[in-house]
Amino acid sequence: MIATIALRELRSMFLSPLAWVVLAVTQAVLAWVFLSQIEVFFSIQAQLTTMTNAPGVTDLVVAPLLEIASIILLMVSPLLTMRLISEEHQNGTFSLLLSAPVSITQITLGKYLGIILFYILFIAMISLMPLSLTMGTDLDLGKLAAGLLGLFLLLSAFAAAGLFLSSLTTSPVVAAVSTFGLLLLLWILDKSGGSGNADNVFTYLALTSHILPMLRGIINSADISYFVLFVTTFLLLTIRQMDARRLQQ
């Protein structure tokens, strides 16, 4: 049942031009970044050979690429998640799910899985550019895998937050703007300056402090649990919100 809902969600993403445009634009921007990073690498290649323990192509090309990708995804993810639930309320299609023998939890997980499938595709496309380097050089595949895992966890978090905010409103635009606001806030939360205890809390809550190490190839179980907690929290909130909606309205 969850898979049925997820697959319909995935299909309908590709039936609207939005998903295609987002994929295309992201790919175009990343291609530019990729090429300019390679350019930089070539220009400093001579100096690198003289250094001991010099950073490799993975550190100088792939890591920056994934960092830029994470910022682009921060901006486009709200556009992809905004219509998940709000649009169904707007068009009255939600009653199809509510009157079918399906539980709210199944609906939530189905919707979430649908967008995650799309994001897996998204990450696969992003990974093609770094992988193309393997034709000419030796990549640190471990670091690349760590970076892609980080990107996946980040997108899972984006999707969960987007799903929840989409369940709060009947207007996709409102959902997009509020999702973007929330994600951006979490992104810059550790930039508060100072070094008190409160700052530690902010640093812990910020997405950046958990994602940047992973994009550079460091996998830390604390970071992974952060994302698991993040996703679980927002999924539970979504289920609660949809249950409560049947009561209020």
Partner 1 sequence: MSLISVKNLVRYYGNYCAVDDISFTLQAGDILGFLGPNGAGKSTTMQILSGNLAPSEGEILINGIDLLDHPKQAKASIGYLPEVPPLYKEMTVDEYLYYCAKLHNIRKIEIRDTVDLARKRCGLADIGKRLIGNLSKGYQQRVGIAQAILHSPKIIILDEPTVGLDPNQIREIRELIAELGKEHGIILCTHILPEVQAVCNRVQIINEGKLVYEADKDQLLNNQETNSYEVRLLNPPSINDLSNIDNVNNVERLHDNTFLVHMDENSADSLTRAAVENNWGLNKLAPYKQTLEQIFVELTLGEADSAAETATSDEGQNL
Question: Which region, judged by CB under 8 A, interacts with partner 1, from 22-30, 88-96, 191-199, 200-208?
Answer: 88-96
Does 102 help bind partner 1 (rule: CB under 8 A)?
yes
Does 197 help bind partner 1 (rule: CB under 8 A)?
no
Three-state SS for 169?
coil
Site string for partner 1, 36-75 (x = CB under 8 A): ----------------------------------------
Does 97 help bind partner 1 (rule: CB under 8 A)?
yes
Does 195 help bind partner 1 (rule: CB under 8 A)?
no
Query: How open is the CA angle 108-22-107, to the nearest 5 degrees?
Result: 10
Per-residue CA distances from 27 to 20, 72, 119, 212 (Å):
11, 10, 13, 21
Question: Which region, judged by CB under 8 A, interacts with partner 1, from 20-28, 96-104, 112-120, 225-233?
Answer: 96-104
Least spacing, CB of residue 56 vs partner 1, in Å: 46
Does 98 help bind partner 1 (rule: CB under 8 A)?
yes
Tokens of residue 40, six digits? 């930089």
Per-residue CA distances from 35 to 40, 45, 130, 133, 216 (Å):
9, 15, 11, 11, 19
Query: Is residue 224 exposed (0-12), middle (13-18) or buried (19+ Cβ within 10 Å)?
Result: middle
Question: Which region, judged by CB under 8 A, interacts with partner 1, from 36-44, 89-97, 208-216, 217-225?
Answer: 89-97
CA distance 7 to 30: 28
- Where does this chain bind partner 1 (CB under 8 A)? 1, 4-5, 8, 11-12, 15-16, 91-103, 246-247, 249
